[in-house]
Amino acid sequence: MHKNTWWRSPLALPSALLAAALFIFLACFGWQMASPDTPTQAPSAPGDTAPASRATAAEASAEAPRNAAPLPATAAAPAPTFEERIDELVRLGQQTAAFAAQDDPDAATESDRIARARFTELMERFQDAGERGLGMVATLHDAKEPETHGRKIVLQLVVFTECERRNAAAATLKNRARLDPFVQSILDSLPMHEAATAVGAFALVQRPFLRACHEPGVLGLVQLAAEERFSREVATRLLLTLWDNMQLAGERTSDELSRLALLHLEHGDPSQRTAAYRQLLKDERYRNLVLAWLREKNDQGVAHELANLAANELPPKDAIALLRELSPVLSDQATAFLTLAFRDGNTVADGYRELLAANTHPTLRRDMIIGAGMPNTPLALELSLFALENDPAVEVRVHAVMSLSGRTDAEVGERAIQRALDDPAIANDPVRVGEMVFALQNLEARGHTNAVDRLGQRLQSMTMLSQSKELLARILSRSLPGGLPSGRPGGPPR
């Protein structure tokens, strides 16, 4: 057995001095180099295909100060773990929100700046932040708890930011080896629970990350949705995103997707069918085909879905044209026109004026007035007043009154109802008078008590259905002293 006699060698003294110097240097500076507050680990090469090993390395680096030489007594606390950093971000988010709620913009801005810096630090320190984030998402069972809800929000940002940085790297390196498996992991995690669905949907829906290689995963979710084991809405939106991305990336041509859509149109599950007619609607060449298919099916549910898709996604003028085409199938398109009016009220208003000039399609005009007249905008006010004065269809005038009575300005609403009650086509029809009671309820909801009082007096003297009379009595009882308009026996004096 050899004796350990290295210290007797000629090199012993210089070596010992060197070791002592190195020890002193490391003791003084080494732990700071690895400190969490001054991350030393540069972002690794984006093309790195071993996230797990790199994760271990990152963690080792993050925890190096604890495992290396004993720290001086004054050393900083151990580097926070990934989970601790997420919780710190939750606290920062809550603090920023509290400052914002207290109308303290300076404090909110400063708190937000710190949150951004901490988030950047987190993403730099943990090159596998996405995988760690997904792991943490798995533990979020009850997302309604404030802390859990906060974690969900932060983890959404982590997972999405991870997708973004890997996507950027993939574009630079022309290599998606780090992105695609991560996206697949997100897809796999989606059905776990509600929080996982929310995090995954935030990262993937209407984002550029899904590609052809994820098609089986997305279709798997569509299948789960068909079995009512996953959100139908999210499955549909993922499929729509996938098709958009495949087309943009040139993985499928528009014609190929349209052919696929035609197949799904007839035989697909509801999510596939939605994706199919959206694809076909985007292409003018196929629009008439979809309409013909719809007329043949005469399915109100599908027609509504199609109308909403058009209102949400087609260029406004194309959407108006399509909604007009759908009118023989759909008797009520108010929701679609309201959606479209939020996007482009002027186009809906122009569409209305055009139909009014031709004095055609009164039902469509009604829905257009509901859509373009209900938002609390100057255009909506102008259009509703115009319709009330000029539209020959009593149904349209009634809905113009409804829109006007729903505005914040009491005088506008009251004048509109009074004007309607002067209109023989309304005043002489008990059903229409009953509709004016709904308008009165709109005024009541906005606290316009005096207007309710004046109109209540007038409405009480008019003929209407018994059910409308009961509603009127309830409105008056809620909003007026004694439940009677002023000047009535038992009511307050005029």
- CA pair distance 7, 17, nearest whole angstrom: 12
Residue 234 touching another protein (CB under 8 A):
yes
Q: Determine how many CB atoms are found less than 10 A away from the CB of residue 342.
A: 16
Which sign does the torsion angle of CA 242, 243, 249, 252 carry? positive
Q: Are 110 and 96 in contact (CB under 8 A)?
A: no
- Is 370 a binding residue for another protein by CB under 8 A? The answer is yes
Burial of 169 (0-12, 13-18, 19+ CB in 10 A): buried
- The region of 52-60, 151-159, 185-193, 288-296 touching another protein under the rule CB under 8 A is 151-159
Write the burial class of residue 388 (CB in 10 Å: 0-12 exposed, 13-18 middle, 19+ buried): buried
Distance (Å) of CA 331 to CA 299, 361, 395: 12, 11, 13
Pick from 87, 318, 332, 429: which binds another protein (CB under 8 A)?
332
Residue 420: which of 441, 443, 396 has the closest Cα? 396
> What are the structure tokens assigned to 184, written together?
């697949």
Nearest distance, CB of residue 34 and another protein, angstroms: 27
Which position among 44, 335, 363, 418 is part of the footprint of another protein (CB under 8 A)? 335
State which of positions 51-90 bind another protein (CB under 8 A): 89-90
Among residues 55, 58, 79, 108, which is the contact residue for another protein, using CB under 8 A? 108
Binding residues among 343-362 for another protein as defined by CB under 8 A: 343
Contact set for another protein, span 6-45 (CB under 8 A)? none
441 binds another protein (CB under 8 A): yes
* Centroid of chain to Cα 157: 14
Q: Residue 172 interacts with another protein (CB under 8 A)? A: no
CA distance 351 to 366: 12
Structure-token pair, residue 264: 């799904």
x/- track of binding to another protein for residues 271-300 (CB under 8 A)? -----------------------------x
465 forms part of the interface with another protein (CB under 8 A): yes
CB nearer to another protein: pick between 49 and 477: 477
The Cα 241–Cα 207 span in angstroms is 7
Q: Closer to another protein at the Cβ: 334 or 473? A: 334
Count of residues for the chain? 494
Site residues (vs another protein, CB under 8 A): 89-90, 92-94, 96-97, 100-101, 108-109, 112, 115-116, 119, 149-150, 153-154, 157, 194, 197-198, 201, 205, 231, 233-234, 237, 300-301, 304, 311-312, 332, 334-335, 338-339, 342-343, 370, 374, 376, 398-399, 402-403, 405-406, 408, 431, 434-435, 438-439, 441-442, 445-446, 465, 467-468
